[in-house]
Structure 1
Amino acid sequence: MTGTSFFTGATFPLGPFTPYEHNPVLKPLGGSWESSNLYNPAALVDGDEVVLLYRAHAEDIVSHIGLARSRDGYHFERESEPILSPTEDYERYGCEDPRITAIDGTYYLTYTGWDRHNARLCLATSTDLHHWEKHGPLFKGFDTFAATNTPHGGDWSKAGVILPYQLKDKWWMYFGEGSIYWATSDDLIHWTPGIPDTDPLYRSTPGSFDADLVEIGAPPVLTENGLLVFVMNGATRTIRADGEVDVDYRCGQFAIDPDEPDRVIARMNTPWLKPQTFEDLNGLVPNVTFVEGLVLFKGKWFAYYGQSDTTLAVAVHDPKQTWGGKLMQAAASL
C-alpha cells in the first residue's frame, strides 16, 4: 500500500489538470446510506488500483465514509456499506471530509467530526481500511478561523494532511480551514500545534481567488527540487441582499521547503481548477470544486474532488503536458 511518497518528475506548480470529460465518476446511490450527496474524497494507490474514501449521506445529512476501487482511475466499484460511521458524541452528525496517509503498514485517516455546533479534526487508524480505531479530536480549543474576520471562538478545526516521512526528527501535519497551520508528533497519534491559532502559517490573500478562506486539500507531493507542494482550496464569499452567503471554491497550490517546514515560500496566484460544469455550479452548496485526493497512478496524476457537495469528479495531469506561457502567471514567490 502507498499513500503520498517520494514522487519523481513532479515540479511546482503541478499541472495543468484537465477535468475528465465524463465526470462525475461517482454519484449518489438511491435507496442507500449515500442516496443524497457523495463528495470530498481521500485517495491512495493500493497495488494496481486507486482507492477512494469518500464522504456521503442520505437526506438526514449525517455523513459516513465509504470506499470505492478502480483499476483505471475513472470507473469505480463501491462497497455497499460505509467503512467509518458516527459512533461518538463529538461526531454524532457526521464523519466528514477524509484525508489519508499510509505509513509503515498503517493508514492514518483524518476527518471532521461534526456535532452541529463544532467541527473538530479527528484521527482514526487502520491496517486494512475496514477496521478503524478512533483516537478522537486532536486540537481542543483551537480555532482555525481565529485569524480571519469570522472567528468561531474555539473548537473549530478541519482538514489535516500527515506527511509520510519525518522532518527534523518529527512527524508533521498541516491542517486548517479558514487559515492553515502545522503541528508535530512523536508517535503519529498525539499532535501539538506549532503555532497559536492567531498566527497561521498561511492565510487568505485579499483580492485573490482565496480572499476569504483557505483550506488544505490533499497530502503533499515532494518535487524534484525538494519542495513540498500542497494542493489547497480557496474561497470567496458574497453576502446577498437577503443575507444568504454565496461561495466560490477554487483549487490552488503552495510550496514549502522541507528545510524550513514552518514557512510557505511560493503560491499559485491563479487557480488550477474552478467551477465550470453543471455539477460544479449546482448542488447542495453551489459553485464548489473541492479537492482532497491526489495520486500518481499509471504515469498520470489524478486529482479527485467534490462538485458542489453533491457528486465526485476527477481531473488528470499528464506529465507530458506543460503549463507553457501560463506558468509565469500561475506561480508567484512569496
Structure 2
Amino acid sequence: MFKIERLNSGKPILEKESNNLWENKVVFNPACVLVDDKEELGQIIESIKPDKETLQRIQSHRAICFLIYRAQGKETKNFDYRRSSLGLAIFTPDLKLIKRFSEPILKPEEKFENLGVEDPRITKIGDKYFMFYTGYESGKEKNKINICIAETKDFLHWEKHGTLKGKLNDVDNKNAVLFPEKIYDKFVLLHRPMEGENPMKIHFATADDILGEWKDEGVLIDVEVNPEFSKSWNGAGAPPLKISDNKFFMLYHIGNFKKDGTREYDLGIAVVEKNEKSYLKLVKKFEPFMRPETEFETIGDAELGVNNVLFVCGSYFYDGYLYFPYAGADSVILGGRVPKDEILTWALS
C-alpha cells in the first residue's frame, strides 16, 4: 500500500562511535527537527559555531535536519556509560550525515534521571524547541520512569525544566510527544502510562502552559488485538504533523509479545482531528505500517539481545516525501521515507 524506501541501502545512517565512551555500544531512538528558515538557521550556526568544513556543508543546503539521539556505552571504573545520554548530529534533509558532535548534549546528571536520559521527542513552539524525554530514576524499592522537559534554540545548549508537573508522573510514564500547536486553547501532549487506568495505550493530556500542570484526558489510540501475537501495546512516536486545518498525521509504535515470548516492535500510522467535545478524536489508523525485515532491524547488539525492533521519535515532510529516521533493534539509526502524496491520499480520504 505504501512505498517505504529504506535509505542508504538499508544500512545505518548513524552507528556507535568506538572512540566516545558514552556511545561506544549502541545509538538509537532519534528525534529530529528540519529547519528550513534561512534566518533561523543562521542564528543556530552563530550559536553552535561549527568548523569551516561543517559550515560550508550546512550552507550548501536549503534545509538542515538536526538529529538528537539516545546513546549507550560500556561500563567503566569511573562511570557506568550504560546509562543513556543524548547526542547531536547534523544531517542533510535526505538524511546524509554532515556533522556528529563528540560530546553528549544531555547527560543523566539530576536525581530524576540518574539512571539515564532516554527517547527524546522535540516540538517547536514559538521560537523555542521543547524536548520531552524519559528520565530513568533509581529508587529504593523500585526504579521510577519520569516524563521530563528541556528547551533549546540551537539543539546544542539545553535548559532542563525537570519532571512534568501534574499527576502524569504519579505512575511510570513515557513516550511524551507535544502537538505543534494549541488545540482549543490548550497545549496537548501524547503520553503512555505504564500503570494505572488503561495502561500501555496512547493517552493524551492537556495543559494551559507547557511548564504548568498537565491533566490526563484518556485514551486516544487503543490497542488493536492481533491474533498473531499473545499480547500487544502501543506508544506515541513522532510529534504529529499538521496536514489540514483540523487534522494531524501521526507515526507511532506497536509493541508485541510473540507466542514464543520474544518481542517485535512495529510502526503504525494514524490521523487524529480536533474535536470540540474531547479536544482530539482518532479518525483512522493503519497498522502495521512497517515491520522489522532487514538485518539491522531484526538483529541487534549481541550482548543486549534486543532484536526485531523499529522505533521512531521524529519525522518531517520534505521535497515530496515523509522522512523518518528510526532505530533498528535498539542498536543503530536507520533512515526511511515514503512519498508524501501516498500519505496524504490515505490520510485525507
Q: Secondary structure at the match of 1:66?
A: strand
1:232 aligns with 2:249: no
1:279 is aligned with what amino acid? Answer: F
Q: 1:192 aligns to what? A: 214
CA contact (8 A) 1:16 1:323 kept: no
Moved more, 206-215 or 252-261: 206-215
Report deviation, 1:225.
6.9
Taking structure 1 as reference, are residues 107 and 189 closer, same or farther at Cα in structure 2, changes over 3 Å only?
same
Identity %: 27
2:148 to 97, 122, 137: 122
1:85 aligns with 2:73: no
Report deviation, 1:71.
2.0
Report deviation, 1:141.
5.6
Q: 1:248 aligns to what? A: 264
| TM-score, with length taken from structure 1 | 0.81
Q: RMSD across aligned C-alpha pairs, in angstroms?
A: 2.6
C-alpha distance in structure 1 between counterparts of 2:183 and 2:18, whole Å: 45
1:104 is aligned with what amino acid? Answer: G
Deviations 1:208-242 (A, max 9, x none): 679511000001122247321211100111364xx
Report deviation, 1:96.
0.2
Deviations 1:161-216 (A, max 9, x none): 11121111111111116211111222221241233xxx523221112679511000
1:266 aligns with 2:284: yes
| Aligned length in residues | 297
Report deviation, 1:272.
1.6
CA contact (8 A) 1:29 1:35 kept: yes
Q: 2:42 aligns to what? A: none
Unmatched 5+ residue regions in structure 1? 1-12, 144-153
Q: 1:168 aligns to what? A: 184
Taking structure 1 as reference, are residues 125 and 314 closer, same or farther at Cα in structure 2, changes over 3 Å only?
same
Taking structure 1 as reference, are residues 86 and 140 closer, same or farther at Cα in structure 2, changes over 3 Å only?
farther
1:65 aligns with 2:54: no
Q: 1:277 aligns to what? A: 294
Q: 2:41 aligns to what? A: none
1:214 is aligned with what amino acid? Answer: N
Deviations 1:58-79 (A, max 9, x none): 0232111111111242221211
C-alpha distance in structure 2 between counterparts of 1:226 and 1:90, whole Å: 36
C-alpha distance in structure 1 between counterparts of 2:269 and 2:293, whole Å: 19
1:264 is aligned with what amino acid? Answer: L
CA contact (8 A) 1:50 1:297 kept: no
1:51 aligns with 2:66: yes
Give matches, 1:1-334, under 5 Å.
15-20=2-7, 21-32=9-20, 33-47=22-36, 48-59=63-74, 60-76=81-97, 77-116=99-138, 117-138=143-164, 142=168, 155-176=171-192, 178-195=200-217, 199-207=218-226, 211-224=231-244, 226-238=246-258, 240=260, 245-260=261-276, 261-268=279-286, 270-283=287-300, 284=304, 285-319=306-340
2:311 is aligned with what amino acid? Answer: F
Higher helix share: 2
Higher strand share: 2
Q: Secondary structure at the match of 1:279?
A: helix
Report deviation, 1:80.
0.9
Q: 1:3 aligns to what? A: none
Taking structure 1 as reference, are residues 127 and 289 closer, same or farther at Cα in structure 2, changes over 3 Å only?
same
C-alpha distance in structure 2 between counterparts of 1:201 and 1:22, whole Å: 32
Q: 1:146 aligns to what? A: none
Report deviation, 1:29.
0.6
The higher relative CO (CA closer than 8 Å, separation ≥ 6) is in 1
Taking structure 1 as reference, are residues 165 and 142 closer, same or farther at Cα in structure 2, changes over 3 Å only?
closer
Unmatched 5+ residue regions in structure 2? 37-62, 75-80, 194-199
CA contact (8 A) 2:166 2:214 kept: no
Taking structure 1 as reference, are residues 17 and 26 closer, same or farther at Cα in structure 2, changes over 3 Å only?
same
C-alpha distance in structure 2 between counterparts of 1:41 and 1:94, whole Å: 15
Specify the structure having the higher radius of gyration (Cα): 2
C-alpha distance in structure 2 between counterparts of 1:191 and 1:78, whole Å: 36
C-alpha distance in structure 2 between counterparts of 1:56 and 1:322, whole Å: 31
1:227 is aligned with what amino acid? Answer: K
CA contact (8 A) 2:166 2:215 kept: no
CA contact (8 A) 1:209 1:236 kept: no
| TM-score, with length taken from structure 2 | 0.78
Report deviation, 1:127.
2.1
Report deviation, 1:17.
2.5
Q: Secondary structure at the match of 1:280?
A: helix
C-alpha distance in structure 2 between counterparts of 1:319 and 1:282, whole Å: 29
